[in-house]
Amino acid sequence: MQILLVTGPGGAGSSTVAAATALRLAAGGSRCVLLTPRPPRVDLADAVRVDVVGAQPALEQLWARHAAALAGAVPMLTVPPATSVVPVPGVLEFALVAALAGHARSGDVDVVVLDAGPAPAATALLALPGALRWWLGQAAPTRLRVLATLRAAATPGRPGVAAGLLAGAAGVEELLDAAPLTDPAATAVHLVVPPTPDAADTVQETATVLGVLGQRIASVTVARVLPAGTGEWWAQRCEVQAAALRRVRALTGPVREVAEQAVPPASVTDLQQLDAAVPEVVVAPAAPAAPRRVDGGWVLDVPLPFVRRGQVELTRWDDDLVVTAAGVRRSLPLDALLRRCTVAGGSLADPGTAAATLEVRFTADPAQWPAGLLDAQESRR
């Protein structure tokens, strides 16, 4: 299943582009669904399947499904009914992930067009899987899971609170596995921006945020492009627009243009005539991040497009490398090799460009390496 995630700054027209994309795919014979947190403005019922996900209904369904198990695991807790549960921030993003996982498991669609809304909401959605995995790792580390399994085997029929919570954690991890939002080969992120002076800045900032989250921009659509007109005001406005388009095209490709309409599209025919669907982009599978051997150790490359020196924070926590840039933080689990190493430093290659890459240098920790293994590694070079 392919996921096409469409986002952009508020008012740029990303929802219209998402709907137009779903229409084109459905018309071409693809089993497509438009997944959105709000009903489309245009009635698409006869043309494409629409799955509207709301935070409150999703929470009620989830609570009703698991309330009995929660009450059984914690008998001293009075569990409220689903109709009385108040949603907390993040429920909508989790509901969208759950909906994606449901479509992936059912095999009923080829493509999900995800109307992710404004860029902050899309960032929260893309960051959610990694953040949840990190918190689950802190709350339910491997040693706790092993102990809970041994206890359950020793006392069958008495699962206890810990076993119930660990079962829930395993269920969340399975759900996250089914919705690979951070894999560019499975999820393509399409950005929609207006032709304003800050459009290029939006592209750069979004590219950096996506880099932190393990994603990248698949395409950029410049929407609401004004047609040629007459008069001094129109000439000035078109000049600003042309400059914005030049800056965006200099940063990335492919870039599409969608004309501004005097009246918003009100029907399927209007959407089809708008020709606003995202381009068909074939994204190569993402190669897993692997350390490269250098003199005295190894280097792990972390792509961070357009980031500049002084804009990146790097820390090490346990077996994770924690990277912060553009106001977003991600924890990258280290492989077995780098876990036995210490972070010797980091440097930024090609800062401020699309090829900007954080190069993290590691050196072997003698206390973590078996005797003679380091010598064997050196002898192979």
**Residue of higher predicted confidence among 170 and 336:** 336
Verify that 373 and 267 share a domain, yes or no.
no
Q: Is residue 283 part of a domain?
A: no
**Residue of higher predicted confidence among 298 and 161:** 298
The confidence band for 199, taking pLDDT boundaries of 50, 70 and 90, is very high
pLDDT tens column, 334-352: 998 899 999 999 999 999 9
Task: Please name every residue paired with 5 in a beta bridge, in sequence order, or none if there are none.
Answer: 114, 189
Task: Please name every residue paired with 347 in a beta bridge, in sequence order, or none if there are none.
Answer: 359
For residues 267-287, average pLDDT: 84
Verify that 69 and 200 share a domain, yes or no.
yes
pLDDT at 213 over 90: yes
Q: How many domains does the chain have?
A: 2
CB 323 within 8 A of CB 211: no
Q: Is residue 193 part of a domain?
A: yes
CATH number at residue 355: 2.60.40.790
CB 203 within 8 A of CB 220: yes
Q: How far apart are CA 350 and CA 307, in angstroms?
A: 9
Give residue 196's identity as a one-letter amino acid code: T
Given this model, what pLDDT does residue 150 score?
Answer: 47
Q: Which domain holds residue 25?
A: 2-274
Question: Residue 187 is encoded by which pair of tokens?
Answer: 């999820």
Verify that 51 and 134 share a domain, yes or no.
yes
Choosing from 212, 243, 274, the residue where a domain stops is 274
Verify that 41 and 168 share a domain, yes or no.
yes
The H or E element containing residue 345 is: strand 341-349
Verify that 54 and 172 share a domain, yes or no.
yes
Q: How far apart are CA 217 and CA 300, in angstroms?
A: 22
- Prediction pTM value: 0.87
Q: How far apart are CA 321 and CA 332, in angstroms?
A: 5
For residues 10-35, average pLDDT: 94
Tell me phi and psi for residue 76, to 5 degrees: -80, -5
**Residue of higher predicted confidence among 115 and 180:** 115
Q: Is residue 120 part of a domain?
A: yes
CATH number at residue 162: 3.40.50.300
pLDDT at 300 over 70: yes
Verify that 153 and 297 share a domain, yes or no.
no
Mention every residue, 6+ apart, whose C-beta is less than 8 A from residue 315: 321, 322
Q: How far apart are CA 294 and CA 104, in angstroms?
A: 41
Given this model, what pLDDT does residue 182 score?
Answer: 85
Q: Is residue 297 part of a domain?
A: yes
Q: Is residue 285 part of a domain?
A: no
For residues 12-40, average pLDDT: 95
Rg of the chain (C-alpha set): 24
Verify that 27 and 138 share a domain, yes or no.
yes
Verify that 204 and 163 share a domain, yes or no.
yes
Verify that 249 and 313 share a domain, yes or no.
no
The confidence band for 249, taking pLDDT boundaries of 50, 70 and 90, is very high
Choosing from 247, 274, 301, the residue where a domain stops is 274
Choosing from 274, 302, 328, the residue where a domain stops is 274
Residue entry with tokens 């994606």 = 100
